[in-house]
Amino acid sequence: MCFRSQMTADRRLSRAAAWLRPRVLKPGLLSLGLGLWGVAAAQLQLSFTTGESSVQINGRSANIAAPQVVDGRTMLPLNDTVLLLGYHLTRSGNTVNVVGGNLSVDLDSGYATVGGQRQEAGSVAVLEGKLYVSARVIAAGLGGQLNTGDGGSLVLTAQPKGSFVPPSRPTALPGATPGTVAPAPPAPARPATPTPPTAPTPAAAVPTPSAAAQPTVPQARFSTDKAVYAPGERIVFTEYSFDPEGGGIASRNWTGRQDVYWAPGTYTVSLQVTNGRGQTSSTYTRTVRVEGQASETPVTYALRYGQIGDRFADGRVLNYPALTMSQGTPRALPLLFSDSPEKPRQSGVLYQDKVSGEARLLGYHVNDLGRPARMYIVARNLENRPVTVQVARQGETAPSRIEGILGQVTLMDYFSSPSRGPVNLPPGGLSALYVSPTLSQGHGVSILQDIVSSGQVAVSFVMLEDGLTLSDPVLRSLPYLPLDGRHQRGTFAGADRPMSASLNQLPARVVIGDGQHDPVLTGRDTVTGSNQRLAGNYGVLYDMEFTGAANTAIALSPRGGLYRGAMRIIDGDLTQVIKLPREGNALTPNEPQLLWRAKSDRVRIQFMPSNGSALPVNLVFYRLPQNTYKWYQP
């Protein structure tokens, strides 16, 4: 970022560099410097690597504030560097001068001058309260130059204080702006006594930039589309890191990067990259200035630019009106629900009922037998004629200890699964419609099936320890396991719930699983004869159609705790099964997660509450602002 645009407007550089008092600074490292060279010493060499505070001065170790890369320039802390090289600073008003050198910095304008010649913009910066100056400018101001060294390091050469003679004409670096300051006067005559010549430095020891071997470590690089942003304005980062050996970049480590900043201020963004050989770059740094009036709110920003799956702050969800859903005619589809005992401790029948025609089966259990076991769904033909049973759709997860995974993966499978071939049952015959993998102690299974039978069959959910083979005599000998008192089982009518609404006044929301806006199913446990309420409506398919959906966004707001699920969306000619949320868990009620941007006027959503997750949840509908960034990302 241009230093003038960053600092000049409010004179912040002058305040940030307040440590430079208007007096001769105490050269804290001068004793080290005097021990390394005398007045007539040979040229000084400071070897350093950006991002590292450890440096080498003529082969000896020292420490300074870490060199940085700012807007593509290698920057050194001015005070630390000149003290280490035997110079020191003075300050007159808001001008800092290197005593014995040819360099000064104007804190008001933010420009450096060498021999009175103004250097290019961006050669000065304040990082964490320290005044930094371009390494090339410092080198020129001390009669030296900046070269590349071994292993990706840099070498700054300088003349020792007392032997450096400022040039008779101002020194300008590439890109410098000619100043109005008169050229420096010629240097006074030197003593006639010649100094002993020093041996020339071999070209390979301190190579010039054009002749230097290219560094073999990767180089981090990135840019932003602007230098100054308003709060809430989207920032576009363009990364162009590279590996000099052509090996490619394997990983990236960003620090301080955000696509949007909400508070005014100056933000530092850094990047390190690693190539395929495990070599890591120096830290590359840029600054981002945020000022002025906010251009977006967190909600409008997320709606305009957010990716599918992004989370955003909205504390007003419960203030939005709940949509009045028109109820369609439900299909006569029974739901056989088996979740109690959720953790059976012995082999037995978990639930059982009779089915003829279409039915939905949902089983959710965890092995607590203390030994390996399997879960079965078994169909027995109750007709005196052959009967077929077809699994029209199935979702399954097993084995797993993670409840959220059990429900979410099952739904992803269910919404995208094809139908299976029919199972043929002779009169009185039985067959397994589902057999789980072996479940170790504490591992669970989630199974969801839509079946169609051509006659009456008895459907049984069974937990069977390994070592017992499923057969008619074994099935008849198993006990019915009692309810655990905390979970439900039973048969519930109306497993499909068609509904519709028009999206007129937005934002608005659809409430699922709260038992008030969304009534629970009631049914009966055929094993015990007891009445049951299906809290959460797990296994119920909400088939929702929305009109007026064009230019709307849909988000998920979890209201009861951790939620992981899935749903199916039909948006015009596009059908997609999506995870809820796209990554991780939805947990925070006032941080909805973006699910979809509708492109059609009519959108259909098929949603089923995910077993193992907490309810209720809200589907929140927003009207998109104009010039929205993207419609859809799978």
Is 436 in the same domain as 479?
A: yes
User: Is the same domain home to 450 and 504?
Assistant: no
Structure tokens at 356: 């003829």
Q: How far apart are CA 594 and CA 554, in angstroms?
A: 6
**Is position 196 within any domain?**
no
Q: H or E segment at 413?
A: helix 403-416
Same domain for 346 and 478, yes or no, is yes
Q: Can you give the pTM of this predicted structure? A: 0.62
Check residue 214 and give its pLDDT: 44
| Same-domain pairing of 589 and 618 | yes
Query: Which pLDDT score, from 0 to 100, does residue 360 have?
Result: 97
Distances (CA, A) of 536 to 97, 407, 518, 581, 613: 74, 13, 9, 19, 10
C-alpha distance from residue 458 to each of 87, 351, 359, 433, 504 (Å): 94, 11, 12, 12, 47
- In this structure, the answer to whether residues 419 and 481 fall within a common structural domain is yes
The pairing of strands 508-512 and 222-224 is unpaired
The residues facing 104 across adjacent strands are: 97, 113
Question: How far is residue 478 CA from its own chain's centroid?
Answer: 51
Residues 480 and 502 occupy one common structural domain:
no
DSSP 9: G
282 within a domain of the structure (yes/no):
yes
End residue of a domain, out of 456, 487, 518: 487
* 36 assigned to some structural domain: yes
Low-confidence ranges of the chain (pLDDT < 70): 1-42, 165-215, 404, 584-586, 628-634
- Calpha distance 344→373 (Å, rounded): 10
CATH code of the domain covering residue 239: 2.60.40.10
Considering the domain architecture, whether residues 276 and 370 belong to the same structural domain is answered as no
- Confidence (pLDDT) at 629: 55
Give the amino acid at 393.
R
SS3 content of the chain, % helix, strand, coil (to 5): 10, 40, 50
What separation in angstroms does the CA of 354 have from each of 335, 378, 379, 421, 487?
11, 11, 9, 21, 21
Res 366: pLDDT: 95
The domain that holds 43 is classified in CATH as 3.30.457.10
In a domain, residue 309? The reply is no
| Residue 67 sits in the same domain as residue 88 | yes
Closest C-alpha to 617, from 318, 302, 303? 318
Q: What is the gyration radius of the CA atoms in the chain, in angstroms?
A: 37
Q: Are 213 and 148 in contact (CB under 8 A)?
A: yes
From CA 81, how far away is CA 62, in angstroms rounded? 11
Q: Are 456 and 546 within one domain?
A: no
- Which pLDDT belongs to residue 195? 39
- Model pLDDT, residue 167: 62
Whose CA is closest to 623, among 558, 571, 548?
A: 548
273 and 357 part of one domain: no
What is the pLDDT, as a whole number, of residue 173?
52
Q: Rounded distance, CA 255 to CA 261, Å?
A: 14
In angstroms, the first-to-last Cα distance of the chain is 35
Q: Is residue 198 part of a domain?
A: no
Encoded amino acid at 281, one letter: S
**Amino acid, res. 591:** E
What residues contact residue 605 under an 8 Å CB cut-off, 6+ apart? 542, 544, 545, 546, 554, 567, 568, 569, 570, 619
Q: Are 417 and 447 contained in the same domain?
A: yes
259 DSSP assignment: S
Query: Distance of alpha carbon 191 from its chain centroid, rounded?
Result: 66
**Element at 451 (helix H, strand E):** strand 444-465
**Is residue 573 a part of any domain in this protein?**
yes
* 47 is a domain residue: yes
Number of independent structural domains in the chain: 4
Q: Which residue, among 114, 175, 176, 180, has the nearest Cα to 142 in the 3D structure?
A: 114
* Residue 341, preceding peptide bond in cis (omega within 30° of 0): yes
Per the structure, the complete domain to which residue 380 belongs is given by 335-487
What SS3 state is found at 112? Answer: strand
Taking CA atoms, 365 is separated from 441, 537, 561, in Å, by 12, 17, 21
Question: Are 418 and 440 found together in one domain?
Answer: yes
Tokens of 211: 């002749």
Give the amino acid at 633. Answer: Q
CATH of the domain at 380: 2.60.120
Q: Encoding tokens for residue 148? A: 């590349």
CA distance 128 to 578: 44
